[in-house]
Amino acid sequence: MRRVIGVGLWLVWLGAGCGAGQAPLTPARCLAEPDCPRPLVSAHRGLCDGEPENTLAAYRSCERLGVPMVEVDTRETADGAVVLMHDEDVTRTTDGGTRFPGRTLVAQLSLQEFRSLVIDDARCAEAPESQPERCHPATFGEVLAATGLLLDLDFKAGEVTRVAAEVRTAGAAGRVLFFDADLAHLRAYRAEVPGGLVMPRGQQLEDFSAFVAPEAADLELRWAHGDPATAAEAAAILHPAGVRLYLNGFADVDPWLAAAAVSEDPTTREDMLARAWQALDDLRARGADGFGTDFAARYVERLYPGGF
């Protein structure tokens, strides 16, 4: 039997437009409702339309292309601002190595310094201030305010309470999925965001059994993150308890899409696409309900041909 939905999650669920006689299927409804028939697609680091990762330009592009969810990687600056950066060190994606030599960790920079970083993108080589959404890294609050996207929040570092405060202030509890392997962090988030949606990371099948055990009932889980290799077994544990399975398509689907993107031969390109979609169909058949991917716009074309 499915677990009874707690009062907090019930309110989020109703707010998403769910329940008897309610309006059409929406991404927010599918985030909160275990019986949603559609899979959710999440753009890894907001990668859409060639825009730099974790920038406001990338997230706006995802929204324009109909991608329902984006991943955001949250960290904290030295003065406690919640910002978006996958790596703890800013040198891979910005000019931080030359701008702040010897002091390139996000946690070592003030918010003002973080905002001054210029994204390592050829389009930002000249006059980056004329393209701030593309050429400077984003803050969490900016993405919350500027888009209506669902946010797959990958908690990298910092204080859970600061992240939660921004979600609460923005009234965004129904569109944020707080993801972390540490159940204590999930509980801390829900303590600050009543009814907040959270997602743990499962490594072993025993983890998924623990997620649906009575001891985890307080988390009111609707999602758990797993691996393609054990998708069918994990789904068999999760689905009867009303928990949906989220997987990354990086190894099974995305390589074929990457190959198709660079192929100059139409026949080869079509073959690569066919292999990608077969791999995606296989993951769905094995119980996957959500997908993280570097090719979110392509997944959307495949999974929502007429729109979500």
Res 21: pLDDT? 54
Question: Is the confidence at residue 221, as pLDDT, over 60?
Answer: yes
What's the rounded mean pLDDT across residues 47-62?
96
- Higher pLDDT, residue 24 or 227: 227
What's the rounded mean pLDDT across residues 20-32?
82
Res 23: pLDDT? 63
Q: Is beta strand 69-76 parallel, antiparallel or unpaired with respect to 82-84?
A: antiparallel
Question: Bridge partners of 246?
Answer: 225, 290
The Cα 186–Cα 192 span in angstroms is 10
What's the rounded mean pLDDT across residues 141-158?
97
The Cα 106–Cα 282 span in angstroms is 39
Res 22: pLDDT? 58
Res 4: pLDDT? 38
Phi then psi for residue 161, to 5 deg, are: -60, -35
Q: What is the pLDDT of residues 67-104, one digit of tens each?
A: 999 999 999 999 999 999 999 999 999 999 999 999 99
Question: Is the confidence at residue 108, as pLDDT, over 60?
Answer: yes
Question: Bridge partners of 201?
Answer: 225
Question: Is the confidence at residue 9, as pLDDT, over 70?
Answer: no
Question: How much of the chain exceeds pLDDT 70, in percent?
Answer: 93
Question: Is the confidence at residue 19, as pLDDT, over 80?
Answer: no
What's the rounded mean pLDDT across residues 204-229?
97
Report the mean per-residue pLDDT for the chain: 93
Q: Is the pTM of this model over 0.75?
A: yes
Residue 97 is encoded by which pair of tokens? 């190595």
Helix then strand count (H, E) for the chain reads 14, 9
